[in-house]
């Protein structure tokens, strides 16, 4: 069955700064910051949360349905999705907006500075969650603010289980708005930085959130793995060591694809998180969010070698 991925489709312009940001930013001058970073490496990639999650989910053998709004400059990306055989039924082109664009600079410590032009993404609320499609699971990932609010409500009304993944869109929402979207969802997925921000905005701790979710809370910790919080308590999921560390862009989306794949199939949630760790490790070894290749067979072998248990069926 299909997984509806509400989120962005964007062009990612990824630049590598071969030094460390901290060596060029004066802490006592941040109120008047004026810094230029020379970036000899520039890569333009297909990205956006909906595209990245769909890319990984398709390679796993899932049935992703990305839902996003784009501009007339989307043709190259559309051909990319066609080559991957990813369904574009809910990719809507708006003639008077550009496709979203991200400008991401990464330093030697894998810190990132991102500028993002939303473009057509800001009109994503024009598409509602379809009720006439065989959708087994969904995700509300970073998108236009109104779209995230609307899609959260629509998933709940349609009775479609889903993950709420506020991501870099988290600062857009008030504490009350975040609470409502959490209560609508079955799962909440955040990274460690987003978790601290979410706690501050909502005033909710782990137990407050897990008591409101039928599934649970997943907090990714980068190289320290991830945490799965459910009504039964906390489970630590170890990180999978990558072949090399090249580019962290899109690692969170890769993890969420593995999580969605397992949850849609009714796996033990810890195994779904373990699969997310495997896919994240495969992604970070390659530059860009959609340039890593793998087969389901390769993933199953890696999963068993890392966790000493077979990949669930």
Higher pLDDT, 275 or 246: 275
User: How far from 113 is each of 2, 15, 38, 208, 255, CA to CA, in Å?
Assistant: 34, 10, 13, 32, 21
At 113, phi and psi to the nearest 5?
A: -120, 125
Residue-wise pLDDT tens digits, 192-219: 999 999 999 999 999 999 999 999 999 9
Provide the 3-class DSSP secondary structure of residue 108. coil
What's the pLDDT at 116?
A: 86
Question: Is residue 247 very low, low, confident or very high in pLDDT (cuts 50, 70, 90)?
Answer: confident
Residue-wise pLDDT tens digits, 109-165: 878 888 889 999 999 999 999 988 899 999 999 999 999 999 999 999 999 999 999
Say yes or no to pLDDT of 28 above 90: no
Q: Where are the beta strands (DSSP E) in the chain?
A: 2-6, 10-16, 41-47, 64-70, 90-93, 100-106, 112-117, 135-140, 162-164, 187-191, 216-220, 226-230, 233-237
Residue 14 pairs in a beta bridge with: 43, 104
Residue-wise pLDDT tens digits, 271-282: 999 999 999 999
Higher pLDDT, 288 or 92: 92
List the catalytic residues: 253
Q: Helices in 46-107 by DSSP H: which ranges?
A: 49-60, 75-83
Say yes or no to pLDDT of 29 above 80: no
Please tell me the distance from the alpha carbon of residue 267 to that of residue 269, in angstroms, as a whole number: 6
Domain range annotation of the chain: 2-9+51-99+122-307
Residue-wise pLDDT tens digits, 156-179: 999 999 999 999 999 999 999 999
Contact indicator for 15, 103 with CB cutoff of 8 Å: yes
CATH number of 2-9+51-99+122-307: 3.90.1300.10, 3.40.50.300, 3.40.50.150, 3.40.1190.20? 3.40.1190.20
Contact indicator for 273, 259 with CB cutoff of 8 Å: yes
Please tell me the distance from the alpha carbon of residue 262 to that of residue 84, in angstroms, as a whole number: 21
What's the pLDDT at 14?
A: 83
């Amino acid at each position: 069955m299909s997984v509806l991925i509400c989120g962005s489709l964007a062009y990612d312009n990824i630049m590598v700064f071969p030094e460390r940001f901290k060596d060029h930013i004066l802490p006592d001058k941040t109120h008047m910051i004026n810094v230029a970073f020379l970036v000899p490496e520039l890569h333009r990639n297909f990205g956006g949360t909906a595209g990245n999650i769909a890319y990984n989910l398709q390679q796993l053998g899932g049935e992703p349905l990305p839902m996003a709004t784009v501009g007339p400059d989307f043709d190259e990306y559309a051909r990319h999705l066609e080559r991957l055989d990813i369904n574009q039924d809910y990719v809507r082109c708006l003639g008077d907006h550009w496709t979203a664009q991200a400008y991401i600079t990464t330093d030697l410590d894998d810190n990132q500075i991102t500028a993002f032009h939303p473009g057509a993404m800001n009109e994503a609320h024009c598409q509602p969650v379809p009720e006439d499609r065989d959708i087994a699971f969904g995700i509300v990932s970073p998108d236009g603010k109104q779209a995230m609010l609307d899609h959260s409500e629509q998933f709940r009304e349609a009775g479609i289980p889903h993950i709420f993944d506020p991501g870099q869109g988290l600062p857009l929402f008030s504490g009350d708005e975040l609470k409502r979207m959490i209560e609508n969802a079955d799962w909440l997925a955040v990274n460690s930085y987003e978790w601290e921000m979410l706690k501050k905005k909502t005033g909710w701790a782990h137990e407050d959130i897990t008591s409101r979710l039928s599934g649970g809370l997943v907090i990714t910790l980068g190289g320290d793995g991830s945490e799965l919080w459910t009504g039964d308590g906390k489970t630590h999921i170890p990180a999978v060591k990558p072949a090399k560390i090249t580019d962290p862009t899109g690692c969170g989306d890769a993890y969420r694809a593995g999580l969605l794949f397992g949850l849609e199939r009714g796996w033990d949630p810890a195994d779904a998180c373990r699969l997310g760790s495997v896919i994240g490790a495969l992604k970070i070894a390659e530059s860009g969010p959609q340039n890593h290749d793998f087969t389901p067979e390769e993933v199953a072998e890696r999963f068993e070698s890392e966790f000493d248990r077979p990949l669930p069926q």
